[in-house]
Amino acid sequence: MANIVIVGTQWGDEGKGKIVDLLAADADVVVRFQGGNNAGHTMVVDGEQFISHLIPSGILQKKTCVIGNGVVVDPAVLIEEIDYLESKGMEAGPDILKISDRAHVIMPYHKLIDHGREKMKGAKKIGTTGRGIGPSYEDKATRRGIRFVDFVDPETFKERLQTIVPEKNFYLEKFLGIETVDLESVLNQYTRFANRLKPYVANVSMVLQKAGIDGKQILFEGAQGTHLDIDHGTYPFVTSSNTTSGNACCGSGVGPKDIHGVLGIVKAYTTRVGAGPFTAELHDDIGDQIQRNGAEFGATTGRRRRCGWLDTVILNNAVRLNGLTGLAITKLDVLGELDELKICTGYEHDGQYISNVPANLNQLAACKPIYETLAGWRQDIRTIRRYTDLPLAARQYLARIEALTGVPIQIVSVGPGRDETIVLDNPFSR
């Protein structure tokens, strides 16, 4: 039996959805442990694309899927996803999908606050998705949040709203100068949502404990990436939750001894959506070519992703913070048209060599990348299914990544489809 955590090592969008979907075949339970519907995991099965924002990717493999207490949930979005999956003939009922009774609910005022703050900041905006994620986590921290256990209890939910809405409306009107919410309208709409979702609500910690006792294998699915972590990322250009592997425990209600491996997902190059420093970013035709070939647009926002060379300063930061035991390299095929490749192996700042990610963003923004150059392979590799059949230059590129990180590569993705994958060492087989 093995329980494995999957995390992104960059700024999200690394291809976690595909890898989770792939490994879910060997898992019995798949757990989402942080974030909200600001994440989008894209999977391609038999040529058809599926994008999930809240429901764990394992739903396509008909596995038990769990939304942990560390997630903030927009009930309208969740119901829409359930309905969509069922319209496609896939099971998404309460027998297969569980929501933690301690997960927090995203309310309409959270989304209004999110949009209002970004508008007020103007050019200095952070670039949030506007889906109310941050304001919902704020209310959780200040004990003004509404948990699912409160949400599905009509009297408690009404009492909570009557206390919270006047305060939120004051802030919306007097400070942000935008529309307010109507308490009765919110109560009526969200009561309908609560009635629909009540059968899904459970004590997830106990569900996972029983799965462990029964010898089930659990896959923990992270959202976003390491460098969007609220503590360890490029703050304040981060998300509102802890995206690193340690939060798999806090965000789902399991103990550290129940985690047996951590797989870091690494795009073969680097991308970032929104504002914030990006040392290895490319502002040239090669960056545009990678963006086009990789179809680099956000699955949730549709925003164009900034593209750059693989940055092993960022990657090694993720190795340390997550305790990575393996790597999965994605989108290797996107680099197949390039004559040569570069890997950022360090930073230069004021004549000094830097091997880590500075906390000071002004210092980080002033860093210049130090590159190694490697040969490209100029070949379409999407049909290749054995590592030894990859072009020599592709294998040398992967070997250099292993050497620079000290972490073995377990999976190589050579295309978006589930079958377009080379599995060197399945983490569940250990």
In the chain, the amino acid numbered 129 is T
* Catalytic residue (choose from 21, 41, 74, 227): 41
Q: What is the spatial distance between Cα 269 and Cα 147, in angstroms, rounded to a whole number?
A: 39
Radius of gyration of the chain (CA): 22
Read off the tokens for 372: 């190694």
Task: Provide CB contacts within 8 A for 148, sequence distance 6+.
Answer: 73, 99, 100, 101, 102, 103, 104, 105, 197, 201
Q: State how far the alpha carbon of 373 is from the alpha carbons of 9, 315, 352, 378, in Å.
A: 22, 17, 21, 15
Catalytic (active site) residue 13? yes
Q: What is the spatial distance between Cα 272 and Cα 261, in angstroms, rounded to a whole number?
A: 26
Read off the tokens for 63: 């596995």
Is residue 30 within a helix (H) or strand (E), and if so which, with residue range? strand 29-32
Q: What is the spatial distance between Cα 242 and Cα 2, in angstroms, rounded to a whole number?
A: 23
* Catalytic residue (choose from 13, 114, 150, 333): 13
Query: 352-354 and 306-308: which strand pairing?
Result: unpaired
Catalytic (active site) residue 349? no
Query: 326-330 and 261-267: which strand pairing?
Result: parallel
Query: 64-67 and 218-221: which strand pairing?
Result: unpaired
Task: Provide CB contacts within 8 A for 294, sequence distance 6+.
Answer: 269, 271, 307, 331, 334
Catalytic residues: 13, 41
